[in-house]
Amino acid sequence: MAGAALRDQLSALLSSMFSQGLVDEQFEQLQMLQDEGGTPGFVAEVVTLFCDDAERIIAEIATLLEQPIVSFDKVDAFVHQLKGSSASVGAQKVKFTCMQFRQFCQEKSRDGCLMALAVVRNEFYDLRNKFQTMLQLEQQIQAYDHKQQ
Amino acid sequence: MGAAAAVRVLVVDDSPVDRRVVERLLRTHCGGGGGAGGGEGAAPFHVTAVDSGKKAIELLALRLEGRRRKQLSPSAASDADEQAIDIVLTDYCMPEMTGYDLLKAIKALGSPNPIPVVVMSSENEPQRISRCLTAGAEDFILKPLKTNDVQRIRKCSGDRRCNNVSSSSSRTKTKTKLSPSDHTAKKVATPEQKTSHLAGLLAMVMNASSLEVSVSHYFQFVFKFILIAYAVLCLSQLLHRWSNGSFLSLWSA
C-alpha cells in the first residue's frame, strides 16, 4: 500500500514538472535511456552532476559580476556552459533564462546581468528542490521494494 | 571472431553532464536493438571521455605510439586501453582549445589516414558548420544528441573501417580480375575504352607487389593459351567436317 502511494506521489511530481515546463522531452529521453540501458541510477547521476555544475557556474558568475570592471565575455562563456548543461539534462526553464541572460551580456549591462542571475538562481533552486524530492521518493520506493522481496 | 569488434569512440567535452549523457546514449543504442545484453548483432561502442582538447591529443598520440610499438613487436601483450581510437566526437565550444582547433590537430596528427572526427554543438550556425566540414569533419551534429544521431556516428566510423577492410580484399580481387578484363579490353569496340581498360590494368599491376605481378602474368599466359588452343581445336573440327560433307553434317555429332 505504501509502495503504491509513493509511486503515485512520484508520478504526480514528474507530471507537474513536465506541465510547468520545468523539464522537457530531453529529460524524458534520459529516463528512457535509464530504462532501456538497464542502468538504474543514471538519471540520479546526471541530475546530481547537473546540480553541482550549475552551482559552480552560478558562483563563478556572481564573483565575476562583483568585480569593479566586469568581463562580459567571461560571464557569457559561463552562461553558455550552463545553457548547454541544462539543455542536455532537459532543464527547460533554466535553459530559457540562460538565453535571456546572454542578451544582457551582449548589451554589456551589469544591472541587467545581476537581475538575470537572480532569475537563473531562483529557477535553478526551484528545479533542484524538485529533483531532490524526486530522488528521495525513488530511493524510498527502491527501499520499499527491496523490503517486500 | 563471432561478434563485431567494438567501435572505440573518444568523447571530448568540457561539460561533465554532456559527457555522461553522450556516453550513456552511445552505450545504450548499439544500433537497432539496445537493451541490457549490449551489442547483439551491431558493434557496441567502447567510450572514452576526456574534458579538453589537449587531453584528447595527448591520448590519441599515446594510442598511436602504442599501435606503432605493437606493429614493431607483435608478440608484445596488447592492452585493451592501448588500442587506437576509431572515431572522435568533440564539442565545439571548449575553453583553450575549441573543437575546430582539435579537428585540425587530429587531421595533422594522423595523416595519411586521419581518424574521423564528428563535431557537436548546441548552436545551429551555418558558418560554423561549413567551417568544420571544410576542415575535414565527417559530420556536424546538434546538441542535445538524439537516438538517430548515434546511427550517423556509427556510419562515420564505419567508413574508416570499410576502407581498412577493402584495401586488403581489393588485392585478391585484382588478381582474378586481371585475366578476364584483359580479354574484355581486346574485345571492346572503342579505342578509348580499350586504353582506359589497359591503363586500369597497368595501374592494378603496378599497385600489386612484385610476387603478385609475376603470378598474375603467369595466369594471363595460361588463360590465353587455353583459349587459343580451344579455338584452334574448334576451327579444325569445323574445317574437317566442311571438307568431308555438306553443311548438314556440321550439326550432327
Q: Rounded distance, CA A16 to CA A134, Å?
A: 12
Q: How many domains, in total, are found in chain B?
A: 1
Contact A84 B15 (CB under 8 A): yes
pLDDT at B65: 83
- Cβ contact B24–A39 (<8 Å): yes
- Helices (H) and strands (E) counted in chain B, each on its own, are 8, 5
| Residue B215's pLDDT band (cuts 50, 70, 90) | low
- Residue B238 within any structural domain of the chain: no
Distances (CA, A) of B162 to B84, B165, B166: 16, 5, 6
On the question of pLDDT at B210 being above 60, the answer is no
Greater model confidence, B190 or B218:
B218
Contacts of B28 in chain A (CB under 8 A): 33, 36-37, 39
Q: Which residue has the higher pLDDT, B170 or B45?
A: B45
Cα dihedral angle (B146, B16, B52, B48), rounded to 10 degrees?
-70
Q: What's the confidence (pLDDT) of residue B77? A: 58
Which residues numbered 57-96 in A keep a CB inside 8 Å of some CB on B?
A: 77, 80-81, 83-85, 87-89
A48 touching chain B per CB within 8 A: no
- For residue B171, being part of any structural domain is answered with yes
Tell me what pLDDT residue B127 has: 94
Q: Does A24 touch chain B (CB under 8 A)?
A: no
Q: What is the pLDDT at residue B168? A: 42
Q: How far apart are CA B33 and CA B12, in angstroms?
A: 26
Percentage of chain B exceeding pLDDT 70: 63
Average pLDDT over chain A, rounded to an integer: 94
Q: Residue B160 domain-assigned?
A: yes
Task: Give the pLDDT confidence score for residue A131 in this predicted structure.
Answer: 96
Task: Look up the CATH number of the domain holding residue B136.
Answer: 3.40.50.2300
Q: Specify the range with the lowest mean pLDDT, choosing from A19-28, A66-75, B217-226.
A: B217-226
Q: Would you place residue B38 in the very low, low, confident or very high pLDDT band (cuts 50, 70, 90)?
A: very low
Tell me, yes or no, whether B205 lies in a domain.
no
Task: Match 533542484 to its residue by C-alpha cell.
Answer: A128
Inside any domain, residue B1: no
A83 and A91 Cβ atoms separated by less than 8 Å: no
User: Residue B66: exposed, middle, or buried by beta-carbon count in 10 A (0-12, 13-18, 19+)?
Assistant: middle
**DSSP label at B93?**
-
- Express each pLDDT in A42-84 by its tens digit: 999 999 999 999 999 999 999 999 999 999 999 999 999 999 9
Cα gap B66→B80, rounded to integer Å: 11
Higher pLDDT, B210 or B135: B135
Residue B12 is predicted with a pLDDT of 96
Distance in angstroms (rounded) separating the CA atoms of residues B220 and B182: 8
Average pLDDT, stretch A112-141?
95
Question: Of A46-50, B18-22, B137-141, B216-220, where does mean pLDDT reach its minimum?
Answer: B216-220
Q: Does B25 touch chain A (CB under 8 A)?
A: yes
| Any domain includes B207 | no
Give the full edge-to-edge strand order of the sheet including B45-50. Answer: B45-50, B7-12, B87-91, B117-121, B139-142
Can you give the pLDDT at residue B74?
73
Q: ipTM, 2 decimals?
A: 0.91
Residue B30 maps to a domain: yes
* Residue-range definition of the domain harbouring residue B30: 7-190
Best CA proximity match to A56, nearest among B18, B94, B16, B49 = B16
Percent of chain B with pLDDT over 90: 39
Q: What angle do CA B99, B113, B157 make, to 5 degrees?
A: 65
Tell me the residues of chain B between 96 and 115 that have a Cβ less than 8 Å away from chain A: none
- Domain assignment of residue B111, yes or no: yes
